[in-house]
Structure 1
Amino acid sequence: MNLYQILRMAHSGWRYIVFAMLVIAFLSALINWIGKKPFSATSKKINLFTLISMHIQILIGLVLYFLSPLVEAGIRYWKMEHIGLMIVAAVMVTIGNARSKKGNDDNRHRSAALYFGLALIVVIMAIYTMTMVDPSRTFFGTTK
């Protein structure tokens, strides 16, 4: 097993953590925003862990991008759309985390819910696109 295969497995497995953290962060921020709850240390930790998990995933993905042996024209999705959409999602998470540190409690939860929700939509869009490009993969990235 070489470095590329190890990183690919890590990237593939870590996606579940990122997806779960995005869902948790979005729902937590939404519930706290609607419930007009104060911005707590728990909210801050959830946002931070979401940010960290997303950035780890992006770093592994960027290393894979440059190590990838895939150069054929048929893999345009992996070389263009996938990386582009994931970077947009990471930027949304970063902005959401940064904006949730400022303002009053209502604005903090609203910012987190908005940006984490947008990131979640982008990630789901990328997953859906992957299933269209490679019909052998399911929504959760496994092969059929």
Structure 2
Amino acid sequence: MGIYEILKSAHSGWRYLVIILLLVAFINALMGYVGKKPYTEGNRKLNVFALISAHIQFVLGLVIYFMHDWYKGDSSVAIQRYWKMEHVSMMLIAIILITVGNARSKKGVTASAKHKTIFIFFGLALLLITGAIFAMIKVDPSRHLFGM
């Protein structure tokens, strides 16, 4: 097994941690916002762990992207266009949303504002990631919902 296969396996497995952490942070922020709960150190750490896991996933993805030469793919072929442009673009936007959401939550004055910021930005990132999964299934029917 070469380095490419190892990185690809790591990227494939790490996605579950990213999605779980984002979901937990999103639900936690929703409950904190709706329930008017205080913004605790635990909330902050959860958000940072979600952020870090997403960044690690993105870096692994970029390494795989350039190792496999996806950037050289033919844009007129749906599967190659997806991996060349669509997947990378959607994941970059998701990473930006997660990063901006985490940074803005730190600047929030009230606990409610912090929870709301995480809820909105992490929620948008989750929607984008879900959209990317469904787009992948559309262009490559051999893959299923969990991207295997």
Pick the TM interval, shorter chain: over 0.9
Q: CA RMSD in A?
A: 1.0
- Partner amino acid, structure 1, of 2:111: D
Alpha-carbon distance in 2 for matches of 1:19, 1:3: 24
Aligned to 1:86: 91
Selected match of 1:141 from 121, 141, 147: 147
Decide whether the 8 Å contact of 2:73 with 2:84 is kept in 1. Answer: no
TM-score normalised by the chain length of structure 2? 0.92
Aligned to 2:121: 115
- Partner amino acid, structure 2, of 1:117: G
- In the TM superposition, what is the alpha-carbon distance from 1:69 to its structure 2 partner? 4.4
- Give structure 1 regions of 4+ aligned residues with deviation exceeding 2 angstroms: 69-74
Instruction: Determine if the alignment matches structure 1 residue 101 to structure 2 residue 106.
Output: yes
- In the TM superposition, what is the alpha-carbon distance from 1:79 to its structure 2 partner? 1.1
Sequence identity percentage: 48
5+ long unaligned stretches in structure 2? none
TM-score normalised by the chain length of structure 1? 0.95
Alpha-carbon distance in 1 for matches of 2:135, 2:89: 12
* 1:1-144 to 2 correspondences below 5 Å: 1-70=1-70, 71-73=72-74, 74=77, 75-102=80-107, 103-142=109-148
**How many residues are paired up?**
142
- Partner amino acid, structure 1, of 2:66: F
